[in-house]
Structure 1
C-alpha cells in the first residue's frame, strides 16, 4: 500500500507532504537536497533531458536557455506556448513536468509509492485554471483525489499547533505569483470557509520585478544602457532582485552588483526604499481584503477577525507583518510555517474523509503500523465559492445583456442550482448555447466568460415549445459542471464544450440592435386561398389574422413572404424583413383578390411556389402556413408537393375552415400539432398559437430574471 500526499504546486516554490505513520502528523517530504521546498522551475536541455527544481533553477541563474518559471500564472491560457530547446510547451505541459518530478522525488526520499494526491490551487483560480491543473496532474500520471484551495489548506495546518477553536481567522496568502485572502471560521472539528478573494497576477514576483526595474534604472543612469533589453541578462537580474528582496527580510539594506557589457554597477537598496518602491503592491492586497469584507451582508470589519495566518514565502517581508499589526493591533498568529503550511494541510485533506476522519484508517504506506492512528489536524471542511456563476441573458425589456447569476459568490460548496427555461424548438430539433460567466458584475463583459456549453439535438415536442432545466454545479474541487435536461422527456441533453468566440462585441449592443444587424435565421410563407368561397368576411378575417401574426413575430429573425392561390398561383412577396414591403405586400395581395387575378377556382397548389420561393438561402427554420376554406381539385398532387417541401426542410402547417377537409389539412401538414380545422371566430387564435411557437424558436424565453440566449441576435 502506498501513501497519499499533499502537493503545494506553487508559482515560485512547491512542496510535498505526507502523514507520518508514527505520529499521525503531516510532515514535509524533503527534496534530494534536504530542503522543504523545491523551486517551481523546469528545463529541457539540448539533449532533451528534463530537469526540475534546483537543477533547473541553477541553469536559470546562469542564464542558460531552455528554462521556464512562473508558468502557473498562465495556467488555463490556451494561447500560451513556450519553446524549451526546440520543444513547444503549454502551461499544462510545464506543470506536468514539474509535478512528475516532485512525485518521483517524493517517492525516492520517502521510500514509498505515491498512490494519490491532493493538489492545491489559489482560491481565486477560475474554472479554466482549475481544469488545466487537473489535466496537468493526470498528464504527470498522478491519481488526483481533488483540488484544494491554498488558504483552506493553510487553515488545516493552523490546527496542528493545539486548541484554537471558535475563532474567525483571516488567511493572508501571498505566494510567489498569486495572492489569496480567505476568511474562515475554525470551530471544534470543522473549518468553515466564509469567503475568498484574490488576484492570481499579484505575488512576490511583482515585488522582484520592481527591484529589477530599480536595478536596471540605476545601471542605465550610470552607463546609458538598459540590461533588461537582453533576455538572458533579464533572467539574471530577476534572480538578483529576488535575492535582494530576501536579504531585506532580515537586513535594513542589501548590496546589489550587476555586470553587463563590460560594465559593473554596484548599488545599495535600503529596506525603507524597498518599502516605498513597492507600497502600491501592498496596498493592492489591502484593497482586495476590503473588497472581501464588503462582499458579506452585513459587511465584515477587521474587528471581526480574531487572528491572521500568513502563508506564502512573500509574507516574510516585514512590510506585510507591519500591515497586519497596524490593522489588527496584534501580530500574526504564530505556529504556521509560511512555506510548508499549504502542503501540510493538503496532506491532511488527502488522508481524511468528508467528516475529518482518517481514511484509510491505517495511514502511512508500507511502513505504517497495523493500527489506526488519529489524524492530527483532521477536520470537516466546508469551503465556499470564490466567484459567482451566471449566464449571459437578455434583460426583460431587451435593451441590454445581463449576468443572470445562478450560484452566488461565497456560497458553500459543493453548490448546485437549476433554473427552468422555456425554449421554442422547430421540428428538426433545437440547439441551446449557454455562456458561463464567473463574477458578480451586472455587465457580462465585466466578468470572465469562462465557457461556452452547446446543447444540441433538443427534441421537438407537441406545441413546439419545451421546458429546459439548466443546472450549474460547483464541485468540491471548485470545477464547474453545466448540464441541461428536457423536462417533458426527462432526457439529459448532449453537451459540447466549444471555444468562446474571439469577437464578443455583440454584447455591447442591445438584443434589439442585434436583431436588426443579424442575418435572418429563417422565413415563413403565408399562402392564402383566393377561391370564391373566401369572398367577403372570410377574406377580411384572413387578412386581419395575417396582420396580427406578422405583428407578433420578429420579422428580422423570421422573414415573411406572401402567396395567393386559386386556379393559378402568384408570389406577391418574397421573404423579407422590411416592414414597409410587408405592409405593401398585404395590400397587393388584397388588391389581387379583389381583381380576381387568380380566378376563383381551386385547381392550383401553393407548394411549388413555396419550393421555388428562395427559402434555400436560409439556414434557419423554414415554414409554409396555408390558409384554405374549401376542397382542392387535385388533393393527391398537393399532398405529394407538400411532402416535397418537407423533404427540402420546409415545415408545412395547414389551417382550414368553412368547407375544408380535416383529413386533407392533416395530410399536407408536417407540424400536425399546429394544423387544425377552425372557424372564423377562432382564426386569429389559431394564427396566434402558431406565431407563439415558430416566432420564438431562436432562444430561451425568460423566467423573471431575463432571457438567456442561445444564439446572439437571432
Structure 2
C-alpha cells in the first residue's frame, strides 16, 4: 500500500529517505506524518541482510534473505562483508585478511588501478564486480521497497557511513548510492545519525552524550555536547574492524574445533563452513535473550550424521570477552582524549545490533552507571531513522522545530607532511573542529634548493611508515639561496566534508612573496600498516627517538651546506680541499644511516668533522646546535 500520493505540485515531491548501509544488515527510513519510520522491505522486514548472490547461469541477482538461501548453491558468488572492502586497495592489509580467510569463499582480485574487486561468474560469464556495484544492489533493493511504499521513482537520500570511514570509502559509498538511483543529499556518520534520532525523540536531553555504536562490522564511540539544537562532536574513536562479524568468527572457530575433534579436518568443506556460520549467527542472537541455546547442523557429511551446536550464555561471554574489552578500551581512550570522566556523561546511547548482548550492557552500565544507559530505541533502526531526520532537515523547511539543528564535526585523524627522512609534522590535529585550518613553516635544507616536496599522511605516529599515505605535492621555483634562508609555509584547509586543500607560500630574505601557490583537493585514503594509528601512545618513546634522529640529521645537513656555501671565501686551496673532503665524508655518512644508528656513533663522526672549525673559525658556524641535540639524544636512550 502506498503511503504517499504523487502529484504535480512542489508540495507533492516525495520525501527524502535515510539509508543505513550496514555490514550485516541494511535499512531504510522516511519521515512521514511528523515522525520517522522504518520502511519494510518486500518480505515485510524492517532490516535487510547485506547479502548479494549473482546467479552463475542467468542474469538474476538476489539480495537479502533470498541471497542467503541461494548462496549455498555457489558460494563463490555469494558476497557479504562488502562494507569492509569498499573503497580499499587490493593490497590493503584488511582486504588481504578477508581474501585469505577460510570463512570468505568469494574471490577478491585487483583492477588496473589496484582497487579491490570481486570476481564472479554471472549470466554464464566471468566478470569483475567493484564493491560499489555490489553495494548498489543492496541499495537498489531498499530503493525499490521505498518506491513502492511512497509511490515514487526519483528519490533523494541521506546515506550513513561509519565515523572512521576515510574519504575514499565515503566516496565509494556515495557512488554505490548513485548507481542505485539515489540523489545523495549528504553522508552522515552513523553515531551522529543514531544520536540525532535519539535526541529528537528525547528533546529534553542536554549535556554530554556518549554514543556507543557496536554494529556488524564496525565499532564507533562518539561524545557529543548537546545544548538544545546545538550538537558539538567533542571526540570520536573507533575500530573499523571490530563488530558482530568478529564475534561470529570466534563462535565459528570454537565449533570448528569441536567438529575436527569428532570427524577430522576433512569434514570442513566450504559449504559446511557456510552453513556453520549461519547457525552460529542464529546461536549468537538467541543467547542475547536465552541463557542456553542449541541448534542442529544437519547432514554434516552428506549422509545422516547431524551435529548439535549448543552453548551457554556464560561460555559465549567468555569467548567474546576480549572484543568487549577492546570496545571499552576505545571508550576510555575517547574520554581521556576529551578530558572528561564517566561522571561527566549524562546519557549513553546504545546503537547497533551487537548492543543487545547482555554482557555489553552490563560492562557499559558498570562503567557509566546503569541509570545513564538508554536502550529505549531500536538499535537496528536508529541509524536509518536518524538519517531520515537529517533528510527532512535538508529538504522540508516546514519542519521548523528541527530546521535549525547545527552539528559540529571533528577530524577523525591527524594530518601532516613528511619533508625529511619520514618525520611527519602534524598540521591539523585529530579532533580538530571542522572546517579546520592550520599552517606550519619549513626551511630549505640544501644550498640552491629550487623545489620542496611534501608527502601528506593521516595518522598519529611521527614515523611516516606507520601512517596512511594520502598524496604528494611539490612547491617549485624556490629562490636559490643558502640552506635555511628560504622558508615555505604550508597551509592545510580541511572542510566539513573532509576534503583537504593545500596552499604553499614562499618567504625569502625578509620578503613575503607568493612565488608558488598550490591548491589541491586530496581524497583522504587509508592503507592499513603494521602499526596502526591507535598505537601512538604505546610507541611514544620510539617515535620520540625517531624525531631526535631526524632533527639531528637536519641540523647536521644544514651545517654542512652552510660550510660549503662559504667554502669559496677561503684563500687556501689546501684548506678548501680538506674541508670539502670532510663535508663529503659526513654528508655520505648521514645519508647511509637511519634512526637505528647509535647516537654515540653519530657523535663521534660529528666531532671528527668539527675539526674543520679551525680553518673556518672566522665564519662563526653553529657547531654547538647539533652537538647539544646529540647529547640530549644520548641522555634520552641511557
TM-score by length of 1: 0.65
* 1:55 alignment partner, SS class: helix
Q: Which stretch of structure 1 is more off in the superposition, 68-77 or 173-182?
A: 68-77
* Residue 336, structure 1, aligned to residue 372, structure 2: no
* 1:492 alignment partner, SS class: coil
* Residue 459, structure 1, aligned to residue 477, structure 2: yes
* Residue 106, structure 1, aligned to residue 146, structure 2: yes
Note the alpha carbon deviations across 1:302-326, whole angstroms, 9 max, x for none. 2222221110111111112222222
**Given the superposition, is the C-alpha separation of residues 311 and 481 from structure 1 closer, same or farther in structure 2, using an over 3 Å criterion?**
farther
User: Which structure's CA Rg is the greater one?
Assistant: 1
> Superposed, which structure 2 residues align to 1:109-188 within 5 Å?
109-188=149-228
Question: 20, 29, 43: which is aligned to 2:39?
Answer: 29
**Given the superposition, is the C-alpha separation of residues 186 and 495 from structure 1 closer, same or farther in structure 2, using an over 3 Å criterion?**
closer
- The residue number in structure 1 matching 2:434 is 413
Kept in 2: contact 1:386–1:410 (CA 8 A): yes
- The residue number in structure 1 matching 2:61 is 50
* Residue 74, structure 1, aligned to residue 74, structure 2: no
* Residue 9, structure 1, aligned to residue 9, structure 2: no
How far is 1:92 from its partner?
Answer: 3.3
- The residue number in structure 1 matching 2:418 is 392
Kept in 2: contact 1:82–1:90 (CA 8 A): yes
- The residue number in structure 2 matching 1:253 is 292
Q: Distance in 2 between matches of 1:57 and 1:7?
A: 21
> Superposed, which structure 2 residues align to 1:288-687 within 5 Å?
288-297=330-339, 300-330=340-370, 332-352=373-393, 359-361=395-397, 372-374=398-400, 376=402, 379-392=405-418, 394=420, 401-423=422-444, 430=451, 432-439=453-460, 441-446=461-466, 448-455=467-474, 458-461=476-479, 463=481, 467-486=487-506, 488-489=513-514, 491-493=516-518, 540=571, 555-556=587-588
* 1:143 alignment partner, SS class: strand
How far is 1:49 from its partner?
Answer: 3.3
Q: Distance in 1 between matches of 2:501 and 2:68?
A: 38
* 1:385 alignment partner, SS class: coil
Q: How many matched pairs?
A: 538
Kept in 1: contact 2:447–2:480 (CA 8 A): no
**Given the superposition, is the C-alpha separation of residues 502 and 133 from structure 1 closer, same or farther in structure 2, using an over 3 Å criterion?**
closer
* 2:412 alignment partner, SS class: coil
Kept in 2: contact 1:219–1:226 (CA 8 A): no
**Given the superposition, is the C-alpha separation of residues 338 and 145 from structure 1 closer, same or farther in structure 2, using an over 3 Å criterion?**
same
Kept in 1: contact 2:570–2:576 (CA 8 A): no
- The residue number in structure 1 matching 2:279 is 240
How far is 1:551 from its partner?
Answer: 6.9
Note the alpha carbon deviations across 1:244-297, whole angstroms, 9 max, x for none. 111112222111222322332113211111112211111111111111122133
- The residue number in structure 1 matching 2:598 is none
How far is 1:160 from its partner?
Answer: 2.8
How far is 1:501 from its partner?
Answer: 11
Q: Distance in 2 between matches of 1:8 and 1:138?
A: 15
Kept in 2: contact 1:5–1:347 (CA 8 A): yes
How far is 1:401 from its partner?
Answer: 4.8
Higher helix share: 2
- The residue number in structure 2 matching 1:664 is none
Kept in 1: contact 2:418–2:454 (CA 8 A): no
How far is 1:205 from its partner?
Answer: 0.9
Q: Distance in 2 between matches of 1:495 and 1:378?
A: 32
How far is 1:59 from its partner?
Answer: 2.0
TM-score by length of 2: 0.72
**Given the superposition, is the C-alpha separation of residues 61 and 270 from structure 1 closer, same or farther in structure 2, using an over 3 Å criterion?**
farther
* 2:472 alignment partner, SS class: strand
